[in-house]
């Protein structure tokens, strides 16, 4: 009998992947963690019944979450990643020679440990000297942070249900702004523009309460509901559609999905979404 793993989206739609072999099913203090070897996407990570990442499609998500902001921000010396326990986001951030310091704050240490074991193919440079890895609540970290400001903040959170709901609140974006340098930029994953459009619209509206420039953009992620995903980049005045050639030159030769043309095209939005966002 094939074993199916199913993501139920608010009891309106279900998306499924068939497993060759279950690997782990664990309950951490924060969430249910499942890892399984799928037929088509290699090892897949699920949290609380929602697909997070897979060996075969992770590059679509991580390259598009990270590179538009990292190639366009004025400075990328100090970077903060909230969430991202599988390590794909910090791997992409650490590709840039200009990056001097990365803080990663992930709430669930068990996610990190299990991903190190079962998603070793992500090749995350966990021992890079520039990385300051913290296990803790990203919302509290942001509110309590008193140290040097960050040039870039990246929110690689789970879907905004339960504890992750705080990651899309107006107060969270205000806290991000306080931790950013005046020319800094924030980028967040902002859900499916098709089946979670209400969430995307709410995220953009909440970000606009803290930042004058808010730019959503799109890309494919095959294992996420609807296959189409959004990200939103916010700043005081950055035009994120213009990547810096010297940064692109560090990334394009090895990227699987991201390049300059994809970067620029990603900011083109469907007409109905443009109207909805106002």
Kindly list the residues in this chain that would bind ligand SPD in the complex (CB under 6 A): 50, 52-53, 61, 84, 86, 88-89, 156, 158-159, 189, 224
Q: Which residue lies nearer to ligand SPD by CB, 71 or 89? A: 89
Q: Considering the complex, what minimum distance in angstroms separates the CB of residue 265 from ligand SPD?
A: 22
Q: Which residue lies nearer to ligand SPD by CB, 72 or 192? A: 192
From 177, 182, 193, select the one nearest 229 (Cα to Cα): 193
From 270, 200, 196, 261, select the one nearest 231 (Cα to Cα): 200
From 44, 48, 219, 80, select the one nearest 156 (Cα to Cα): 80
Q: Which of 86, 156, 159, 199 is catalytic?
A: 156
Q: Which residue lies nearer to ligand SPD by CB, 74 or 166? A: 166
- For 263, the token pair is 């970067």
Q: Considering the complex, what minimum distance in angstroms separates the CB of residue 212 from ligand SPD?
A: 26
From 182, 238, 191, 196, select the one nearest 217 (Cα to Cα): 191
Q: Considering the complex, what minimum distance in angstroms separates the CB of residue 10 from ligand SPD?
A: 12
Q: Which residue lies nearer to ligand SPD by CB, 162 or 245? A: 162
- For 115, the token pair is 């991903």
Q: Considering the complex, what minimum distance in angstroms separates the CB of residue 160 from ligand SPD?
A: 9
Q: Considering the complex, what minimum distance in angstroms separates the CB of residue 249 from ligand SPD?
A: 25
Q: Which residue lies nearer to ligand SPD by CB, 164 or 175? A: 164
Q: Is 239 a catalytic residue?
A: no
How far is the CA of 64 from the CAs of 122, 189, 192, 272, 275, in angstroms?
16, 9, 14, 22, 24
What residues act catalytically?
Answer: 156
């Amino acid at each position: 009998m094939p074993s199916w793993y199913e993501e139920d989206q608010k009891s309106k739609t279900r998306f499924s992947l068939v497993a060759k072999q279950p690997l782990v099913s664990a309950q951490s203090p924060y969430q249910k963690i499942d890892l399984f070897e799928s037929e088509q996407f290699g090892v897949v990570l699920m949290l609380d019944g929602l697909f997070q990442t897979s060996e075969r499609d992770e590059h679509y998500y991580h390259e598009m979450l990270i590179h538009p902001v990292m190639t366009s921000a004025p400075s990328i010396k100090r970077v903060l990643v909230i969430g991202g326990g599988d390590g794909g986001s910090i791997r992409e951030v650490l590709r840039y020679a200009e990056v001097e310091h990365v803080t990663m704050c992930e709430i669930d240490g068990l996610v990190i440990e299990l991903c190190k074991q079962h998603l070793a193919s992500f090749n995350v440079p966990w021992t890079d000297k520039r990385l300051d890895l913290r296990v803790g609540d990203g919302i509290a970290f942001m509110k309590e942070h008193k140290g040097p400001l960050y040039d870039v903040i990246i929110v690689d959170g789970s879907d905004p249900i339960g504890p992750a709901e705080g990651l899309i609140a107006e107060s969270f974006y205000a806290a991000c702004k306080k931790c950013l340098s005046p020319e800094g930029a924030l980028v967040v994953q902002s859900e499916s523009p098709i089946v979670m459009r209400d969430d995307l619209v709410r995220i953009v509206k909440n970000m606009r309460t803290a930042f004058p420039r808010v730019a959503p953009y799109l890309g494919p992620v095959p294992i996420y509901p609807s296959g189409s995903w959004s990200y939103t980049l916010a700043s005081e005045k950055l035009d994120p559609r213009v990547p810096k050639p010297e940064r692109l030159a560090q990334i394009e030769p090895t990227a699987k999905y991201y390049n300059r043309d994809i970067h620029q095209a990603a900011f083109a939005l469907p007409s109905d979404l443009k109207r909805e966002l106002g």
